[in-house]
């Protein structure tokens, strides 16, 4: 695309968040079998400008953990990330936006080993990663949502990486840049035993004081996780609640 046209398009996207393009999974690689690996139920979306990859990567995680999120939520998330045509979305802005939308994160610097990825995906935690785009001159945010190990070959599944939706882990390590964010849902909703009103907590386990009254009660609530699609037949796929695991 001509650079002047690209600039006009980026300026328009900055002024009016147009939202990601939702892509059917038929355009994505097949899921691994249960003995090869697993993939989390993270939606397949593609950015429509050249600088909002961080927004879209964060949005796929937000939509996975809170599936009722809508276009209004996307626009608010976009504004919180505040991407720019020149700088994209910095790590700090992406982390702040995720936290504002009730996503727990753990920021890591070292390139994740295949075992690290395997453990996080098995636990239900998608990973937002910054990778290099060779010969394109910029870095790119993607979401790691699955893995596969077959005949000694170790691969990772990526959202928002057109042309390379699966990378050999050795290639992935070469492209990795700076940081990655391990993500999970952190909000638990419970009912106050006195007022019978809903109360939301940032931590799913502990003793809390109800904001509606002075009652204290313990919460042993699960945090939302997602059943790997590869573990069940499509007709049996469902969302489940699991207790958090140590990260």
| Per-residue model confidence as pLDDT tens digits over 102-136 | 888 889 999 999 999 998 888 788 999 999 987 77
pLDDT at 245: 38
What average pLDDT is seen over the chain? 77
In the chain, % helix, strand, coil (3-state, to 5) comes to 30, 35, 40
pLDDT band at 236 (very low <50, low <70, confident <90, very high): very low
pLDDT at 233: 37
* DSSP state, residue 222: P
Angle at Cα 50 formed by Cα 44 and Cα 56, nearest 5°? 30
Q: How far apart are CA 243 and CA 241, in angstroms?
A: 7
**Does residue 242 have a pLDDT over 70?**
no
pTM for this entry: 0.72
Q: Average pLDDT for residues 211-236, to the nearest whole number?
A: 50
Domain positions in the chain are: 3-185, 188-242
Q: Where is average pLDDT lowest: 5-9, 79-83, 91-95, 154-158?
A: 5-9
pLDDT at 26: 59
Burial of 142 (0-12, 13-18, 19+ CB in 10 A): buried
Q: Where is average pLDDT lowest: 32-36, 76-80, 184-188, 240-244?
A: 240-244
pLDDT at 126: 92
DSSP string, 32-48: PPTTTEEE-----EE-S
The class level of CATH for 3-185 reads: alpha beta
pLDDT band at 239 (very low <50, low <70, confident <90, very high): very low
Q: Where is average pLDDT lowest: 127-141, 175-189, 204-218?
A: 204-218
């Amino acid at each position: 695309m001509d650079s002047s046209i690209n600039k006009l398009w980026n300026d328009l996207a900055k002024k009016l968040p147009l939202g990601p393009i939702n892509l059917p999974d038929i355009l994505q690689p097949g899921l691994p079998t249960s003995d090869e690996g697993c993939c989390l139920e993270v939606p397949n979306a593609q950015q429509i400008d050249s600088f909002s990859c961080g927004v879209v990567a964060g949005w796929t995680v937000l939509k996975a953990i809170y599936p009722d999120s809508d276009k209004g939520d996307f626009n608010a998330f976009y504004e919180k990330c505040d991407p720019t045509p020149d700088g994209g979305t910095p790590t700090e802005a992406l982390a702040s936006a995720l936290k504002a939308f009730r996503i727990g994160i753990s920021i890591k610097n070292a390139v994740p080993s295949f075992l690290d990825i395997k453990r996080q995906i098995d636990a239900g935690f998608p990973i937002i990663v910054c990778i290099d785009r060779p010969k394109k001159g910029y870095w790119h945010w993607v979401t790691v949502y699955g893995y596969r190990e077959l005949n000694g070959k170790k691969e990772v599944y990526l959202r928002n990486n057109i042309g390379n939706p699966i990378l050999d882990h050795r290639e992935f390590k070469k492209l990795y840049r700076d940081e990655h964010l391990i993500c999970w849902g952190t909000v638990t909703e419970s009912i106050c035993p006195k007022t019978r009103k809903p109360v939301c907590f940032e931590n799913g386990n502990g003793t809390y004081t109800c904001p509606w009254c002075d009652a204290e009660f313990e919460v042993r609530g699960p945090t939302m996780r997602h059943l790997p699609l590869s573990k069940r037949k499509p007709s049996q796929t469902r969302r489940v609640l699991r207790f958090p695991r140590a990260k």
